[in-house]
Amino acid sequence: MATTTPPVGSSAKPTVRELYDSMSYGPAPEGDTPVREWIARHDGTFGHYIGGQWVAGSDHFDVLEPATGKALARVAQGTAADVDAAVAAARAALPAWQALDDHARARWLYALARGIQKHARHFAVLETLDNGKPIRETRDIDIPLVARHFYHHAGWAQLLSSEFPGHHAYGVVGQVIPWNFPLLMLAWKVAPALAAGNTVVLKPAEYTPLTAIRFAELVHEIGLPAGVFNLVSGDGATGAAIVAHEDVDKIAFTGSTEVGRAIRVATAGTGKGLSLELGGKSPFIVFEDADLDSVVEGVVDAIWFNQGQVCCAGSRLLVQEGVAERLHAKLRERMERLRVGSPLDKSVDMGAIVAPVQLDRIRALCQQGIDEGATCWQPSWATPTEGWFHPPTLFTDVAPSASIAQVEIFGPVLVSMTFRTPEEAVALANNTPFGLAASVWSENINLALDIAPKLKSGVVWINSSNLFDAAAGFGGYRESGFGREGGREGMWEYLKPIKAHEAAPLPVIAAGATSLTEAPAGEASPGLPAIDRTPKLFIGGKQARPDSGYSLAVRSLSGRTVGEVGEGNRKDIRNAVEAANAAGAWAKLSGHQRAQILYYLAENLSARADEFAQRIVAMTGDPLAAGASEVDAAISRLFTYAAWADKHDGAVHDVPLRGVALAMHEPIGVVGVACPDPYPLLGFVSLVAPLMATGNRTVVIPSERFPLAATDFYSVLETSDVPAGVVNIVTGARDPLVRTLADHDDVGAVWYYGSQAGAAAVEKASAANLKRTWTEWTGREWLDPRAAEGREFLRRAVQVKNIWIPYGE
């Protein structure tokens, strides 16, 4: 049916279609009066919360409102003395807090969750004023998730003794949180720390401290015991004072990779626990069969949520060539309709950038992208002139090596690149030093689930983006840090084995032993000289002569020479790492296949048990019975990890959406291992076997004093179907060799058992690529299965990848 347009001046009413086409959103401001009145009641000035009391502070700084640029409040600048007082209060409160039964701590966390819910709108508006993010996000996402985390961890507090036996809290935990999700990051850290029985000293970000201060008020209102939660506000110097404090037992940090490196160095060799959630440059991978309209909305959630100020923002759009132009056109159309304005307006999509320095950084990186040849597109409309705003931005024609494709911009800037094949998509996705999150879009679930495990990231979302829940762990690989927040994985970050408080007994060899170079020469044997059996290194499944051309004498405690080994050096370590990297197929074997090989190792070691026992006795001087016991324990340990190889499963998390979150255990990759001197065979097997069982490859430095047990063992490896490169052995001085492993960018983790100075060197060197480390210098009783095998070793041998899979129409 033909339609006609009413003449000018006609009184005819517009049609429904005309109204629909012209419909626009009017302003819908959220009232902020109650929150501003709350600030005014405090005269606009806030202090620290220490030991259950408010402390004024000696100096203050302005907190600015991003949407207007005006001062919002003044907050105390924490000093070293303030940090000392907060740590002392936390230490004083620790015994009573830990003495509470599980139910009592659960009740306190439940009270915090209820308090958050009762004051949800107040927290949401305050967060929006302080941070600049839209009220729709703080009201509908941030604050509900905060309450969810406290509820979830009230459950873990109730179940602590039954679900985490043999473990207890670290003690005093120092926590430093960022400005992009101020209250949510507080919940991610404070809830598990308190549930585990720790006490807390928290420093909020200097740009956004107000919701943390309001949370401290809530803590005070519900009557949480004094000193259990302490807040010291301030800038980076305050955070550094917490990190450096000798009476802090663990540090949890979320922020930039650069600061994370500095914290890793600062805590090296101190024995402090450390978890780091750092930067990201997350890929958003779109295959040609994806629903492009859904993809567009996914991109909106991935990069323009919170103005792109999200560590896991999908800032790299990787799109298959055949649909790239169509998707870019749809994105430009959608960007033209995004609304940027006052974050208190419930109809806006994007609010303000948190601070002028961050806005300047975003602009500078955008200009750098243009200078490097990329094409920049922004909507036609202008952003508000008051406050700090940046429009949504799309870069195309971006080279994979371009700065904007490698550097975390932390703003509403999307960079797009194309690929042709799934293999190329994976290569592009992994082509950064980060590994926090990724998003995969395809209607072919087989393809999506094939790609997800290949991505070097701790979280993968299938046909979705930026999904979070307290039940599902969140955290990264590589330079995105280590540790997890949320779920069972997150609870482990705040617990340590009870035995870690006790120095384990060491065998006699640990006391008064002379070094290899200081021992006197052995006496000559009568008769004919022995036929030389100097062991070589074991690299890539083959015996290899050391690059140095030198050998080291191995002597018993009495000084008698019992053999020689090659003196490994940096080149030998390099060769061993290359061989281990080439053995990646080991990780693809089924758990059952790895179990069969571990059983075979045990079988072949058992056949030579007397020989290995005699070797141990010759080196250590222990009775033959002790040597036989060590061999028997090594055989049992191989059986243990053969048993675990097909049983150390992940989990399916119960998250509140139509879908599942699969927590997959993935091998770390290449792991460097420095073995202890006591129990030279059992220590070697106890460290290598769990790594083998979980699909890792190893470069092992055996006992420096008594390496012959490990060099004898490579003949067992050769006859037990262990693929070349899965286990590599380099003998020599432990600390110089392990330092080379810690420096190596292709090593994913280092396990070190030696001196405290050696541990400090390993942890400092690991900061270069933020590899995982597990260092000990107090000793373990390796014969005791409770201390030397089991889940603790398996947890250390894997990293958890959470894959979110929505389903339903």
> Would you state the structure tokens that stand for residue 646, as one six-digit string?
């097909």
Q: Looking at residue 501, what is its pLDDT?
A: 43
> Would you state the structure tokens that stand for residue 101, as one six-digit string?
């039964």
Closest CA to 486 of 804, 233, 212: 804
- Give Cα separations from 354 to 63, 141, 287, 304 (angstroms): 11, 18, 34, 14
Q: DSSP label at 32? A: -
> Would you state the structure tokens that stand for residue 321, as one six-digit string?
């060539």
Rounded to an integer, what distance in angstroms lies between the CA atom of residue 785 and that of residue 788?
5
Q: Looking at residue 515, what is its pLDDT?
A: 39
Question: Residue 554 in 3-state DSSP?
Answer: strand
Rounded to an integer, what distance in angstroms lies between the CA atom of residue 56 and that of residue 47?
4
Backbone angles phi, psi at 428, to 5 degrees: -65, -40
Tell me whether strands 437-441 and 283-286 are parallel, antiparallel or unpaired.
parallel
Q: Cβ of 323: how many Cβ atoms within 10 Å?
A: 18
Rounded to an integer, what distance in angstroms lies between the CA atom of residue 110 and that of residue 122?
19
Burial readout 35-44 (b: 16 or more C-beta within 10 A, e: otherwise): bbeebeeeeb
Q: The sheet that has 48-50: what strands, in order across it?
A: 53-55, 48-50, 229-231, 199-203, 172-176, 250-254, 273-277, 481-482
Beta bridge partners of 88: none
- Give Cα separations from 50 to 34, 238, 395, 602, 740 (angstroms): 26, 14, 47, 56, 44
Are 403 and 365 in contact by the 8 Å Cβ rule? The answer is: yes
- Give Cα separations from 788 to 94, 655, 779, 806 (angstroms): 29, 34, 11, 40
Q: DSSP label at 27? A: P
Angle at 523 between CA 519 and CA 527, to 5 degrees: 155
- Give Cα separations from 726 to 695, 717, 741 (angstroms): 9, 10, 16
Q: DSSP label at 694? A: T
Are 688 and 696 in contact by the 8 Å Cβ rule? The answer is: no
Q: DSSP label at 29? A: B
Angle at 458 between CA 452 and CA 461, to 5 degrees: 50
Tell me whether strands 481-482 and 273-277 are parallel, antiparallel or unpaired.
antiparallel
Q: Which helix (H) or strand (E) holds 240?
A: helix 236-244
Burial readout 250-289 (b: 16 or more C-beta within 10 A, e: otherwise): bbbbbbebebbbbbbbbbbbbebbbbbbbbbbbbbbbbbe
Are 85 and 245 in contact by the 8 Å Cβ rule? The answer is: no
E strand spans, 148-294: 167-169, 172-176, 199-203, 229-231, 250-254, 273-277, 283-286
User: 129 Cβ partners below 8 Å, 6+ apart?
Assistant: 32, 35, 36, 65, 67, 72, 210, 343, 344
Closest CA to 259 of 356, 361, 176, 183: 176
Closest CA to 387 of 435, 348, 439, 424: 348
Quote the crossing angle between the two packed helices 321-336 and 292-303, to the nearest 10°: 60
Scanning 621-721, the segments in alpha helix (DSSP H) are: 624-644, 680-693, 708-718
Rounded to an integer, what distance in angstroms lies between the CA atom of residue 338 and that of residue 127?
22
Q: Looking at residue 686, what is its pLDDT?
A: 97
Rounded to an integer, what distance in angstroms lies between the CA atom of residue 227 and that of residue 599?
52
Q: Looking at residue 552, what is its pLDDT?
A: 86
The whole-number mean pLDDT for each consecutive block of 10 residues of the chain, a chain of 809 residues, reads 45 74 74 95 96 94 96 97 98 97 96 97 97 96 96 96 94 96 97 98 97 98 97 96 97 94 95 94 96 96 93 94 97 95 94 96 96 96 94 96 94 97 96 94 95 95 93 92 93 87 47 38 53 81 91 82 88 97 95 96 96 91 90 97 94 86 95 95 97 98 94 93 97 95 96 95 95 92 92 95 87
pTM score of the predicted model? 0.90
149, amino acid identity: H
Rounded to an integer, what distance in angstroms lies between the CA atom of residue 28 and that of residue 23?
15
E strand spans, 265-374: 273-277, 283-286, 316-320
Active site residues: 277, 311
Q: Looking at residue 530, what is its pLDDT?
A: 60
Query: HSE of 544 in the Cβ direction (CA atoms, 13 Å)?
Result: 24
Closest CA to 642 of 606, 599, 607: 599
Are 353 and 388 in contact by the 8 Å Cβ rule? The answer is: yes
Rounded to an integer, what distance in angstroms lies between the CA atom of residue 680 and that of residue 782?
10
Q: Looking at residue 20, what is its pLDDT?
A: 73
Q: Looking at residue 656, what is its pLDDT?
A: 83
Backbone angles phi, psi at 477, to 5 degrees: -110, 165
Rounded to an integer, what distance in angstroms lies between the CA atom of residue 6 and that of residue 799?
67
Rounded to an integer, what distance in angstroms lies between the CA atom of residue 730 and that of residue 538?
7
